[in-house]
Structure 1
Amino acid sequence: MLRLLVLGLVLACAVSLSSSAVILENGAPILWAQTASQVTELPMHDGILLPDPWNYLHRMSLYRLMIAATDPFMGSMGTNATDSPLWGLPLQLGWMLTSGRLADPTGATTCGLEAEPLCISTQSWWACVNYFASVLPFLSAAQQGFMGAGAQVQMQVPAGVQDYCTTYADCKAKYPDAMSKWDAFFQGLKTTSESLLPDDVKKDTILGVYWDAQMASTYASAACNARQSHYSSVEVSFAQSWLNSAEYVAAARFQANMEKALLFLSPLPSRILQEGDSAPNIVGLTAEENHTLYIFSWMKTIDSLLGGTLLRLWKGAMCSVNTRQKGAQVLEQLLLNPSFATSTFLSIITEMTTSC
C-alpha cells in the first residue's frame, strides 16, 4: 500500500502544469527501492525464473539485476557507482511511467491508471519498444551466465497476448540480430574489462558494443509499429523523432550514466502529446521540454529534407574516440542550450567530418 501511495504522489507531480518529467525518487529511478536486488527475489517455479515484465516493479528489477551483475566489469566507466551506461535504461522506464506512456492508450482497461498504477499495458507502443530494451538484454544476460550458472528464464505474458517473445530461444528465433548483439555485449564486457587495454580504449570499446546492441533492439522494435495507431499524430511524430535521436547518441557512443542520462531525459515531455500541441509553444510543458521537442523535430525534418545526409554526416564524423567525445558534448549543447544555434551544429559536423 505504501508503494502505491508513493507512486500516486510521483504521478501527481508528473502531471502538474509546467513541471518537468519526474525521473528520480530519492536519488534513484522511480520505486527503485521496491525492486528485486537478488535474482532469488523474482518469482520462480520448478527452477525457472518467471518475471512479469507487465508489472513495473518486475521490469525495473530486470534493470537493477543487470546493473548489479555487470558493475564488476564496468571499472573503465569511472569511479562512481552510477557510471555504468545501463543506468540510462531504468531512468528512461521511470520517465515512461510518470509521463503516462506505459498506460493503456486504447482506454479499454485501467492498466497504468490510478486503479492499476504498476500495470504496464501490452497495447502501449512505448512499453512495447522498451520490452526490446529490457527483456531481450535480460534474457541474453541470463544466457551468458550473469544471473547465475544455468539460470533459466521465462517471461510471464497476459492471457491472449501472443506477439511478445518470452524465452531466450524464442527471442533468438524471432530477433536473431538483436539477441546476437546483446550476447556480443555481455561476452565482450568480460573480455574487454580483463584485457590490458588502457581504460579510455576499454570504455570506448564497451560503449561501442553496448550501443550496437541497443540499436539492434531499437530496429527489432519495429514489430511494435501497429501500436502507434493508438496515439495522436503529434505523439507519433515525437516517438519517431525520439527513435531518430537514438541514432546520433549511439554513433557518439554516449555514456548514458545516471548523471548524463538525467540531462537528456529530464527535458522530455512529461505527458503524452495531443493533437494541436506544437513545439516550442505547447501549453503546460516547460520551456526546456518545448525546446527539446523543437530540436527533435528539427533534426528529423532536416535529415528528411536532406535525404538522410545529416545522419550520414554525423555517423561519418564519429570516427575516433576524440570526435565521439566531442560529438557527445555537441549533442548536449544542441538539446540543452537554447542559445546554441542549429547552424552551429551543422558547421561542427562538417568540421569533424574533415578530420576523419
Structure 2
Amino acid sequence: MDFIRTAVAVVLLAVLSQAAVVTENGLPIQWDSAPSELSQLPTVDGVIQVKPWDYLQRMALYKLLINSTDPYMSSMGPGDKESPLWSLPMQLGWKLRSGRLTDPTPDSSSTCGLESSEPVCISPQSWYACMNYYLSVLPFLAAVHTGVVGKGGVQLHIQAPADGAQDYCSSYTDCSTKHPDAMTKWESFFQSLQHISQSDEADVSKKDKILGLLWAAEEASLQTASLACSERLKLYSSPEVKFAQGWLSSAAYVAAAHFHADIERSEKLMAPLPSRVLQESDKPPHIADLSAEENHALYIFGWMHSVNQLLSGSLVNLWRSAMCSPQAREKGQGLLHDLILDPKFPGFSLMGILTEMTTSC
C-alpha cells in the first residue's frame, strides 16, 4: 500500500508541476472528444444515463448547452465562440489540468481526476468537482425540462457517485425539490432566451438582459454548492482554502458586472489561475514554481476577499451599487481585467473609483 501511495504521489507531482492552461486548440480541454448529441450518451431502456463523474460526459453537458443556446445568442456577437456559457467548460478544463478534480483526502491512492487516467474520471471527493456539479448538472436538467435541449419528453437519469451521493441531486424533480432557487433561476434563464433574442430591442440591451439572467442563475448555483460542498473544502491546505474562498467570492463581482464570458475574455481572466493545487508550505504571492501572473492573481483574490470581510461585506455591496447601468457594468469589466491582470494597478484606489461611479448612478 505504501508503494502504491508513493507511486500515485510521484504521478501527481509530475502532472501538477506542468503549467496548466485553460484551452486546447482554442477550445476547452478535451472538448473535441466529448459527445455532442444526446444520442451519443449511454441509454438503458430508453432512458439516457448521464454519468457526471466521467469527465467527457460532464463536458458533453456543456457542449449540448452551448450548441442548443447558440441560436439565441446573436446579440453576443458574430461567430460561435461568443456564448457567455463558454467559461463553464473552460473552468472544468482548468480544474482537470491543474489537478483539482482529484481526491484531496490525505494519503488517497486514487488516480481519479488525473488527466492521464483512462477514461478520465472525476473524484466525488473534490471540492472543485462538487462545486462544478451544480454548474453543470443543474443547468442541464433545467435546459432539458424547458425544451432548450432535446425535443421534449427526454428521460434522464443522473448517476450518483458511490460515495457522498447524499450531497448530489439526481433528477429534475429531485434538484427542484432540494434546490428550488437555483433551478428556478436556471429555468428563467432558458425560458427567457428565445423571447429576448426575438424582441425588437437593440442588441446591447438584449445582451445585458441575457447576461443578467445567466449570472443570477450561476450565483444561485454557487451559493447552493458552497453549502453542499463545504465539508470537502476542509480537506485542502490552508493556502488552497484561502484561494478557493477568494475564487468563490470573486463571482459576486463578475456577476454584478454582467461579465461577457466568451472564450477570449474567459481565457484572459483564467490564464493566471494557479496551475496546481497549493500546498501548506506555499506562501503567495511568493511561490517560486508559479509564474508572476499566478502569484499576482492569488494575491488579488485573497486581498479582495479579506478586504470585503474586514468591511463586513461593504466592498461587494459598493461594487454592486456601482454596477447600476450597462455603461457602468462595462467599466466594471475593465476594472476586473486591470485588477487581475495588471500588477501595477493600484488596488487601494478601488474604493474611490467605485464611490465615484456610485454617485453617477
What is aligned with 2:42?
A: 43
Q: Which residue identity lines up with residue 267 of structure 1 in the other structure?
A: P
Match of 2:158 among 155, 158, 164: 155
* Alignment map for 1:144-293 (pairs within 5 Å): 144-148=146-150, 149-163=152-166, 164-221=168-225, 222-293=227-298
Q: What secondary structure, in the 3-state scheme, does the structure 2 residue paired with 1:82 have?
A: coil
Q: Which residue identity lines up with residue 101 of structure 1 in the other structure?
A: R
Q: 1:30 and 1:334 mapped to 2: Cα distance?
A: 26
Q: Mark the runs of 5 or more structure 1 residues left unpaired by the alignment.
A: 1-10
Which piece of structure 1 moves more, 300-309 or 287-296? 300-309
- Summarize deviations over 1:123-146 as a string: whole Å, max 9, x none: 000000000000000000000112
Q: What secondary structure, in the 3-state scheme, does the structure 2 residue paired with 1:24 have?
A: coil
Q: 2:17 and 2:119 mapped to 1: Cα distance?
A: 17
Q: Which residue identity lines up with residue 283 of structure 1 in the other structure?
A: A
1:137 correspondence with 2:139: yes
How many residue pairs are counted as aligned between the two chains? Answer: 344
Which piece of structure 1 moves more, 299-308 or 319-328? 299-308
Gap change, CA 1:332 and 1:13, over 3 Å in 2:
farther
2:113 and 2:122 in contact (8 A); partners too: yes
2:51 and 2:57 in contact (8 A); partners too: yes
What is aligned with 1:109?
A: 110
Gap change, CA 1:26 and 1:12, over 3 Å in 2:
farther
Which piece of structure 1 moves more, 214-223 or 141-150? 141-150
Which piece of structure 1 moves more, 124-133 or 47-56? 47-56
What is aligned with 2:82?
A: 83
What is aligned with 1:54?
A: 53
What is aligned with 1:8?
A: none
- Summarize deviations over 1:9-53 as a string: whole Å, max 9, x none: xx9996336x3x211111111111111111110111222211110
What is aligned with 1:308?
A: 313
Gap change, CA 1:85 and 1:63, over 3 Å in 2:
same
Gap change, CA 1:228 and 1:117, over 3 Å in 2:
farther
**What percent of counterpart residues are identical?**
53
2:112 and 2:121 in contact (8 A); partners too: yes
Q: Which residue identity lines up with residue 157 of structure 1 in the other structure?
A: A
Q: What secondary structure, in the 3-state scheme, does the structure 2 residue paired with 1:270 have?
A: coil
Q: Which residue identity lines up with residue 202 of structure 2 in the other structure?
A: P
1:122 correspondence with 2:127: no
Q: What secondary structure, in the 3-state scheme, does the structure 2 residue paired with 1:50 have?
A: strand
1:334 and 1:345 in contact (8 A); partners too: no
1:102 and 1:121 in contact (8 A); partners too: yes
1:35 and 1:57 in contact (8 A); partners too: yes
- Summarize deviations over 1:106-129 as a string: whole Å, max 9, x none: 115221234456110010000000
Q: 2:173 and 2:331 mapped to 1: Cα distance?
A: 40
Which piece of structure 1 moves more, 190-199 or 179-188? 190-199
2:272 and 2:293 in contact (8 A); partners too: yes
Once the two structures are TM-superposed, the CA of residue 157 in structure 1 deviates from its matched residue by 1.9
Q: 1:162 and 1:119 mapped to 2: Cα distance?
A: 16
Q: 1:77 and 1:154 mapped to 2: Cα distance?
A: 33
2:17 and 2:276 in contact (8 A); partners too: no
Q: What secondary structure, in the 3-state scheme, does the structure 1 residue paired with 2:205 have?
A: helix
Q: What secondary structure, in the 3-state scheme, does the structure 1 residue paired with 2:187 have?
A: helix
Q: 1:333 and 1:257 mapped to 2: Cα distance?
A: 18
Q: 1:162 and 1:117 mapped to 2: Cα distance?
A: 21
What is aligned with 2:355?
A: 350
Q: 1:286 and 1:115 mapped to 2: Cα distance?
A: 27
Q: 2:310 and 2:70 mapped to 1: Cα distance?
A: 42
**Structure 1 residue ranges (4+ consecutive) displaced by more than 6 angstroms after TM superposition:** 11-14
Q: Mark the runs of 5 or more structure 2 residues left unpaired by the alignment.
A: 1-11
2:16 and 2:277 in contact (8 A); partners too: no
